[in-house]
Each structure stands twice: as structure tokens, then as C-alpha cells.
């Protein structure tokens, strides 16, 4: 079981952070385009999911999976989006994504007046704490599963 | 237990006097820097706005409140959760407009103004205007454009402090330029 990579977006589609741990295949396009593609796709899926829902929406779009990986999604009312790709063995991880938002992004970036919002996070503390956190997750194994 | 895990659950206590005095020092310095009350009011609003856009994230991280469905729900969350969490007070919500787009927050006591008296030469100073900026900034980040203004102020002799909140419009999600 493993975590492949993680994206963090803000409400304007700016990719605040990207990290990868186990990614065997790249998208074949420049990183900037990859972020735009990811954000645009998420935007469309969210809108699609709410339009086509046969019942009242509660949490909205949560995840999708293919035969090889699963994409998990978490969004805050302020438009901060946490996107994590894991392998298929990983169940719902909303609490993990919420932790990344509240204990890492909010604590280390939002609350730091020297960290400007609306652009890629430069904070090394954020990057390293996020990395330690992901590596400490029970479903992360150092060998790609 | 990791340091990170314990930090989230303990509440950080701070002397409220220190907070009140710090805010007072801030306003006093602004009055020296700007010389006229209108400019100070604008600066307080601007500073409040910058606080609000970040404070909302902390609020969402800690309170687990989801998206509000309408302005009434928003009013409830502001008064009962947010004010309680940050200032330790629970204003009451009154004077809803017939269209449901305006309401008042009545603050019986305002922690910012403990020990404060407005001198005569600052009669148009809105001492707690920072709060209006905070409300405006925070709500803008959750896609609501609002106007917040003081209509009553105990510092000016009124019995209570009243903030009037007006919903202007919903701010729509914009796809970044270049997306189909």
C-alpha cells in the first residue's frame, strides 16, 4: 500500500504544493500543464457530480479509482483542495486529508504572516513536515506496493 | 506523543488584558500615524481584512463547520461559533431585514474596549473597526461579499454595540484563465 503523490490547490487554481513519493509514470506534459489539467478536471467533476446527483448532496465528490490507483479529494469551504493519489488498497481518508489542511497547511502556512497566500508554498518546514506525515501514515510503505 | 499532535488539542491561554492593551496600542499608533479618524478607520478595516482572510482557514480547520446553505445559517455560525471561539463572547442576532439579507450582531460587551474611553477629539473614530474588516475578509473567502459596519457603539454612549451585516452578493468560483 502506498501514496503516489499529493497536490494542494487554492480557490483560484494555483497549485500551492506538489509532492511525489512513488510515481512510476509521468504525465508527459510540463508540470504547469499537469496542475492545470488536474484542477480543471476536479472543477468539472465537482460540478458534474452535484448536477447529476439523484439525492441532495452531502459531501460532494470524494474519490475516483481506476484499476491501478485511487484519487482522493478533499475541499474546504474556502476552496482549498487536497488531492492524494494512492494505490487501491487505501480506504476513505478524509480525516487524513483534513489533517493535511488543518495541522499542516493552516498551522504552518496560513498562520505564518511571512508566507504569502495565493502562490506556491516556499516554506521548507511545511514541505518537510508534510513529508514526515505522509511517511508516517499506516498505508504508506517505503517500497511501492 | 508527538509535539504536533498535542499542540492541536491544548487551548493556548493568553491574558485578555494583554490582548486589549495590544489592540489599544495599535489604534493609538494608527491615530498618531494618520492624524484623521477616517484614515484610521480605513486602515483598521484593511488590517482586519488581512486578518480575516487567514482567520477563516483557522476557523474551518478547528471548528469542523461545513458550508453554510444560506445567510441565516452564516449568521448563526458567526455569532455562536466564531465569536465564541475567538473573542469568548456570543453576540445575539436581531433585526433581520424582510429579504433576509441583513441582520445585526448585538454585543453586550466587547473585549476590545475594556478600559477604553474615546477622547473628544476622536469622535468619528470607529475604535473596533478591525472587527468589520475581519468579518468582510473571512466571508469573502467563503464566497460571500458582505458589508459590515458599526451602527451602535458603547464607546459613543450607546447602550450596546451593534454591527450591521449586509449580504451583497455571492462570489462565484472562477476557473483560472486558459481552462476550457
B interface residues, A as partner, C-beta within 8 Å: 4, 7-8, 53-54, 56-58, 60-62, 66-68, 141-143, 173-176, 178-180
Per-residue pLDDT tens for B32-83? 999 899 999 999 999 999 999 999 999 999 998 988 989 999 999 999 999 9
B60 interaction partners in chain A (CB closer than 8 Å): 76-78, 102, 106
Q: Does residue B57 sit within a domain?
A: yes
Does any domain span residue A45? yes
- Stretch B163-170: mean pLDDT: 95
pLDDT reported for residue B9: 47
* Structural domain total, chain A: 1
Q: Would you say residue B9 lies in a domain?
A: no
The answer to whether residue A17 sits within a structural domain is yes
Would you give per-residue pLDDT tens digits along chain A (145 residues)? 899 999 999 999 999 999 999 898 898 999 999 999 999 999 999 999 989 999 887 788 999 999 999 999 999 999 999 999 999 999 899 999 999 999 999 999 999 999 999 999 999 999 999 999 999 999 888 655 4
- Residues 17..56 of A with a Cβ closer than 8 Å to B: which? 36, 39-40, 43
Is B98 within the bounds of a domain? Answer: yes
- Position A142 in a domain: no
Q: Which residue of A has its CA nearest to B61?
A: A102
Residue A115 lies in a domain: yes
Residue A18 lies in a domain: yes
- Tell whether B67 is covered by a domain: yes
Phi, psi of A19 (to 5 degrees): -135, 145
- At B113, which CATH number? 3.30.1380.20
pTM of the model: 0.89
* pLDDT tier for residue B87 given thresholds of 50, 70 and 90: very high
Angle at A115 between CA B14 and CA B169, to 5 degrees: 85
Please indicate, yes or no, if residue B179 is contained in any of the structural domains.
no
- φ, ψ of residue B72 in degrees (nearest 5): -65, -40
Instruction: Confirm whether A71 is domain-assigned.
Output: yes
- Write the pLDDT tens digit of every residue in A54-92: 988 778 899 999 999 999 999 999 999 999 999 999 989
Q: What is the CATH number of the domain that holds A118?
A: 3.30.450.70
**Looking at the domain assignment, is residue B10 inside a domain?**
no
- Domain hosting A131: range is 3-136
> Mean pLDDT in chain B?
89
Chain B closest-CA separation from residue A140 CA (Å) = 19
Its ipTM equals 0.89
Inside any domain, residue B142:
yes
B147-172 mean pLDDT: 93
> Which domain, by its residues, includes B166?
16-170
* Residue A145 covered by a domain: no
Structurally, how many domains does chain B consist of?
Answer: 1
Edge-first strand listing for the sheet containing A3-9: A15-20, A3-9, A81-86, A70-75, A63-65
Tell me, yes or no, whether A143 lies in a domain: no
Amino acid at each position: 500500500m502506498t501514496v503516489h503523490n499529493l497536490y494542494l490547490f487554492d480557490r483560484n487554481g494555483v497549485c500551492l504544493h506538489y509532492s511525489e513519493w512513488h510515481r512510476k509514470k509521468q504525465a508527459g506534459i510540463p508540470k504547469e500543464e499537469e496542475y492545470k489539467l488536474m484542477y480543471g478536471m476536479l472543477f468539472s467533476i465537482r460540478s458534474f457530480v452535484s448536477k447529476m446527483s439523484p439525492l441532495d448532496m452531502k459531501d460532494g465528490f470524494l474519490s475516483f479509482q481506476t484499476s491501478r490507483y485511487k484519487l482522493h479529494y478533499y475541499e474546504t469551504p474556502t476552496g482549498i483542495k487536497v488531492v492524494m493519489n494512492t494505490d487501491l488498497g487505501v480506504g476513505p481518508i478524509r480525516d487524513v486529508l483534513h489533517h493535511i489542511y488543518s495541522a499542516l497547511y493552516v498551522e504552518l502556512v496560513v498562520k505564518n504572516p511571512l508566507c504569502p497566500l495565493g502562490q506556491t508554498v516556499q516554506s521548507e518546514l511545511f514541505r518537510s513536515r508534510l513529508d514526515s506525515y505522509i511517511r508516517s501514515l499506516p498505508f504508506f510503505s517505503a517500497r511501492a506496493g | 506523543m508527538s509535539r504536533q499532535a498535542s499542540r492541536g488539542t491544548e487551548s493556548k491561554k493568553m491574558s485578555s488584558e494583554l490582548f486589549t492593551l495590544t489592540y489599544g496600542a495599535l489604534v493609538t499608533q494608527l491615530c498618531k500615524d494618520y492624524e484623521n479618524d477616517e484614515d484610521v478607520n480605513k486602515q483598521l478595516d484593511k488590517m482586519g481584512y488581512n486578518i480575516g482572510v487567514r482567520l477563516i482557514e483557522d476557523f474551518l480547520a478547528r471548528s469542523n463547520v461545513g458550508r453554510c446553505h444560506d445567510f441565516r445559517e452564516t449568521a448563526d455560525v458567526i455569532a455562536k461559533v466564531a465569536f465564541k471561539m475567538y473573542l469568548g463572547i456570543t453576540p445575539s442576532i436581531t433585526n433581520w431585514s424582510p429579504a433576509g439579507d441583513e441582520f445585526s450582531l448585538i454585543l453586550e460587551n466587547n473585549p476590545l474596549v475594556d478600559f477604553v474611553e474615546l477622547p473628544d477629539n476622536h469622535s468619528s473614530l470607529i475604535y473596533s473597526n478591525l472587527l468589520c474588516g475581519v468579518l468582510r475578509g473571512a466571508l469573502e473567502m467563503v464566497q460571500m461579499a458582505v458589508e459590515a459596519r458599526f451602527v451602535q457603539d458603547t464607546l459613543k454612549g450607546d447602550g450596546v454595540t451593534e454591527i450591521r451585516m449586509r449580504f451583497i452578493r455571492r462570489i462565484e468560483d472562477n476557473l483560472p484563465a486558459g481552462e476550457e
